[in-house]
Structure 1
């Protein structure tokens, strides 16, 4: 197991620790402390067990920057895991717009993301899954997100994709990329968004190529929503940029796919975490 820890203390210091995935301090920006995650060798290979822990003290804001995307390589019967554990104290903010996570042929990956938000805390998280490199169908990936706000369940979602022997290798109605943007602890008003029962919003786009499913243009609006004063307690007024782009997203969805090759389940806010 390899462990990386990023912690922002109450007095604003940043504590960093890690080996396979190293954390490096970056210049602050827009009032947020910034930390880069840099892989010290090829990731992910069979047997890799990556654990990333993020702690942000009350009232502090942190942005995590990924220098490169991640490729899960052919594991030849093995498997790997990528586990993220986030804890945000009261009124803390985390922005983490991760780069594409590519699941190559022969890969078998478990991804778990746990987010625990204290009252008033907000998070903006982005995950882009790409099934296969160019010309590949992609391996198997299971990704689960569990979020809690003020000690109560906010979101539980599990998505599974695996090779299909008789189906077209391009899954999800012809798409190979699933781009998901989560705003937790605040709301982002955007057409086609899934609004959680409590403070939270999910946006999703699918495409045949990662850059075509790009939600990057909406990330700025999501960050604005998460950092808007009082955003964790009331619905946020739609940012001007989001209003100007109404209808720009592809196919936002939180439902399962009919094919056995892909399954997805979402538990909205207030439901048992299981």
Structure 2
């Protein structure tokens, strides 16, 4: 079963429907116009054979803030594999802020991770993703990521990355920290790629995630 977060703006009280899958979404206190939801693992993650799916649907002039209570470790899979798929839909002026905790790819892990975002004009999304190859003193496994975004049915972002630890490419770095914005741009910076449409990708390679100085917009 998919983990699903569905939010609809309402002038009296924003409506929020939460469905538990591999992750359990839990409503947190929030100020007017902002819905805050925590994601808590409903069991051991991420193991061979796991197929995690998270669906996010936000409609209307409301901001959804997703909070991860802990990072995720993709454990050694002994020849198996796992998936982590995120499907986001924003309409009618909705916005999303999701600052993910580190996603650690342990030795012998094999993971495919996809993020698909569809938004209409006037909507915005800000997503932070920190990929860490290997636990402490460990060489990481394999991770393939696929990111797609559309704005009003027009392609905004298409990117595929293959992660395998290589000293020739990464040096002493273990973590790729990324902030992606859709529907608006980050300020120009040497570490920021501006998309052809309204959006940006800012990245840093660091040894530990906390060493990243990437800035996110409140």
Could you state the TM-score of these two structures normalised by the residue count of structure 2? 0.94
- Tell me, in whole angstroms, the C-alpha distance in 2 between the residues paired with 1:173 and 1:90: 44
Number of the residue aligned with 1:182: 180
Query: Could you say which residue in structure 1 is the equivalent of 2:7?
Result: 8
2:137 maps to 135
1:214 is displaced (CA, Å) by: 4.7
Residue 92 of structure 1 corresponds to 94
Taking the aligned partners of 1:214 and 1:139, their CA distance within structure 2 comes to 25
Q: Which runs of 5+ in 1 are unaligned?
A: 224-274
Q: Deviations over 1:100-140 (max 9, x none)?
A: 00000010000000000111110000000000000111000
Greater helix fraction, Structure 1 or Structure 2: 1
Q: For 1:38-72, what per-residue CA distance to the aligned partner results, in whole angstroms no more than 9, with x for missing partners?
A: 00222100000000000001222100000000000
What CA RMSD, in Å, does the superposition of the two structures yield over aligned residues? Answer: 1.5
CA distance in 1, matches of 2:186, 2:164: 31
Corresponding residue to 1:191 among 176, 189, 192: 189
1:260 corresponding residue in structure 2: none
* Ranges of 4+ aligned residues in structure 1 off by more than 3 Å: none
Q: Does the 8 A contact of 2:58 with 2:89 survive in 1?
A: yes
Matches within 5 A, 1:1-274: 2-11=1-10, 12-29=14-31, 31-163=33-165, 168=167, 171-192=169-190, 193-215=192-214, 218-219=215-216, 222-223=217-218
Q: What is the TM-score of this pair, normalised by structure 1? A: 0.75
The question of whether the paired residues in 2 share the 8 Å contact of 1:143 and 1:158 is answered with: yes
Residue pair 1:179, 1:214 contacting (<8 A) in 2 also: no
More strand by share: 2
Cα distance in 1 between the residues matched to 2:32 and 2:74: 33
Distance 1:30 1:159, change over 3 A: farther
State the shift of 1:10 in Å. 3.8
Unaligned residue ranges in structure 2 (runs of 5+): none
Alignment partners' CA distance in 1, 2:197 and 2:171: 30
Q: 1:155-189 CA deviation, whole Å, 9 max, x = no partner?
A: 111110125xxx53x85233110000011001111
Contact 1:44 1:71 in 2 (8 A): yes
Whole-angstrom CA distance in 1 between matches of 2:81 and 2:189: 38
Do the aligned partners of residues 132 and 65 (structure 1) sit closer, same or farther apart at CA in structure 2, a change above 3 Å counting?
same
